[in-house]
Amino acid sequence: VSAGSRKLRIDLCYDGTDFAGWQIQPGLRTVQGVLEERLGRLAGGRPIRVSGAGRTDAGVHARGQVAVAEGPFALDDAALAYRLRRLLPPDVRPLRVATAGSDFDARRSARSKTYVYRLDLSTSGSPFERRFALHVPRGFDASRVERAVERLVGRHDWSGFTASGCTIEDRVRTMTEARLEPCAPGLVRFVFTADGFLTHMARNLAGTLLEIARGRLGPERVSEVLRSRCRELAGPTAPARGLWLERVEY
Amino acid sequence: VSAGSRKLRIDLCYDGTDFAGWQIQPGLRTVQGVLEERLGRLAGGRPIRVSGAGRTDAGVHARGQVAVAEGPFALDDAALAYRLRRLLPPDVRPLRVATAGSDFDARRSARSKTYVYRLDLSTSGSPFERRFALHVPRGFDASRVERAVERLVGRHDWSGFTASGCTIEDRVRTMTEARLEPCAPGLVRFVFTADGFLTHMARNLAGTLLEIARGRLGPERVSEVLRSRCRELAGPTAPARGLWLERVEY
């Protein structure tokens, strides 16, 4: 931490529909990019680096993303929160701004993350959920999913549920919560809590559970993917719009 | 009803954000226009007239709009519902299609309508509600609203809450329900049920209740507007995006 500089923890939510994901990319509108640009204005034009707890894909939403920014911010936390609320666009909103300890790291300090995948089971598909849930109009057998999700809990190598492009070597993570629950009339959601998630892991889990719900794969397939570490045995990657970074615990 | 023709009752919901309202207008995307065009395809290309229970303004949503269409539809109700689900865009969805009696009229047969006005009271404004609620970050005193809404129930002349351009002569309607209630974390809604609503009436009620909630008008102002029939005494017309046609009862 350089002199006059401090670390901020920013809790935020966003509608991911119109973002090319979290991570900064030249020429694209990303959450990290928008945050860095706006925070730069609050640091006297100095370039600000922001890191996030989860690098959400394009179209993925967040109800409880946590970002860390370091810079020479002259305002106190409350004033920064106020200014940030005014500067940020309506699809990304700060929930809390607090000064963090110098060793706080949005990703490495996280004890667990919870991702949620929402499904709209109504016949016609709700017009109010089309950005926020995957429409599954028929063939969703909840009891089949329930027999599958319980197999996810525990310490496993998640290679079989990871994108082939994933460069992370150690793919062992511990899933502490995996379940299906109703969340609104006509809507259900998968809830996954783990000490870490690999590239596309939550979406591949959702895609596999959907194949199981529709009867195309058996509930035991989940265990086979874990055991074999074979991506080909899992279902397809579910669309981004149903996925939410719900919460990060420290 | 001409030979081979029948009347359909279509219950539907829509996200009003990208519509120039219910009513057909040349060159604009309206709910009635989209319905007439799609239903025409299901009637062998014959022009189809659709009428609705409520002529919602641009940007107003519906969870339970009721439309009536008459035409030479060859398919049965279930097949029409299926085809209509496939033909209609994702922001307007049919909930039910049923053959109606020849004397059924979407507007005149209605016994009551319920409009809801949603308010997001969170500090930052939810990115997921920005199309569906008005953001009121501070100064909302619910107890003041509660003392005002109870004054709305009953048979009144609603001229004071009606747009100046309203051409309806008889402005007496009976409000059977008017209340404020929580509807989700950080969200509340006004609920209005009446045997009829005049132009901008629900939005003018919401706008007046908002002025009362913020302390700019007293709760008794509602009675003064009703008694005086003076539009100038009421609050401004609240933005369309918070308003929902929730339900029509027959």
DSSP secondary structure of A111-148? SEEEEEEEEE--SS--TTSTTTSEE--S---HHHHHHH
**Chain A contact present for B190, CB below 8 A:** no
User: Per residue in B26-35, pLDDT tens?
Assistant: 999 999 999 9
Angle, alpha carbons B215-B217-B223 (nearest 5°): 135
Q: Number of CB pairs < 8 Å for A and B?
A: 49
Greatest alpha-carbon pair distance for chain A in Å reads 60
Residue B237 pLDDT > 50: yes
Residue B176 pLDDT > 60: yes
**Chain B contact present for A15, CB below 8 A:** yes
Q: What is the mean pLDDT of residues A213-219?
A: 97
Q: What is the identity of the amino acid at B223?
A: S
Residue B14 pLDDT > 60: yes
Q: What is the mean pLDDT of residues A97-109?
A: 96
Best of A34, A83, A128 to substitute, by most chain B Cβ atoms within 10 angstroms, is A128
Distance of CA A27 to the CA centre of its chain: 23
User: Per residue in B42-93, pLDDT tens?
Assistant: 999 999 999 999 999 999 999 999 999 999 999 999 999 999 999 999 999 9
User: How much is the pLDDT for B234?
Assistant: 97
User: Per residue in B195-227, pLDDT tens?
Assistant: 999 999 999 999 999 999 999 999 999 999 999
pLDDT band, residue A168 (cuts 50/70/90): confident
Residue with tokens 């189809």: B48
User: How much is the pLDDT for B2?
Assistant: 52
Residue of A nearest to B94 (CA): A124
ipTM of the shown complex: 0.92
Residue B125 pLDDT > 50: yes
User: How much is the pLDDT for A86?
Assistant: 96
Picking from A93, A126, A128, the nearest residue to B125 by CB comes out as: A93
The backbone torsions φ and ψ at residue B203, rounded to the nearest 5 degrees and listed phi first, read -70, -35
**Contact indicator for A191, A114 with CB cutoff of 8 Å:** yes
Greatest alpha-carbon pair distance for chain B in Å reads 60
**Chain A contact present for B128, CB below 8 A:** yes
* Percentage with pLDDT > 70 across chain A: 99
Q: What is the mean pLDDT of residues B163-172?
A: 86
User: How much is the pLDDT for B3?
Assistant: 54
User: How much is the pLDDT for B149?
Assistant: 97
User: How much is the pLDDT for A1?
Assistant: 44
User: How much is the pLDDT for A4?
Assistant: 78
pLDDT band, residue B165 (cuts 50/70/90): confident
**Contact indicator for A177, A213 with CB cutoff of 8 Å:** no
**Contact indicator for A187, A135 with CB cutoff of 8 Å:** no
Residue of B nearest to A131 (CA): B128
Residue A164 pLDDT > 90: no
Residue B1 pLDDT > 60: no
- CA-to-CA distance for A193 and A249, rounded, in angstroms? 10
Q: Give the pTM.
A: 0.93
* Percentage with pLDDT > 70 across chain B: 99
Nearest to A18 by CA among B131, B200, B156: B131
Run of H or E including B227: helix B221-228
Residue B248 pLDDT > 50: yes
User: Per residue in B132-153, pLDDT tens?
Assistant: 999 999 999 999 999 999 999 9
User: Per residue in A224-238, pLDDT tens?
Assistant: 999 999 999 999 999
Residue A3 pLDDT > 60: no
- CA-to-CA distance for B80 and B64, rounded, in angstroms? 19
**Chain A contact present for B35, CB below 8 A:** no
SS3 letters across B74-101 = CCCHHHHHHHHHHHCCCCEEEEEEEEEC
Q: Is the dihedral of CA B150, B151, B156, B158 positive or negative?
A: negative
Residues 6 or more apart from B10 whose CB is under 8 A from it? B35, B50, B66, B67, B68, B69, B84, B94, B96, B97
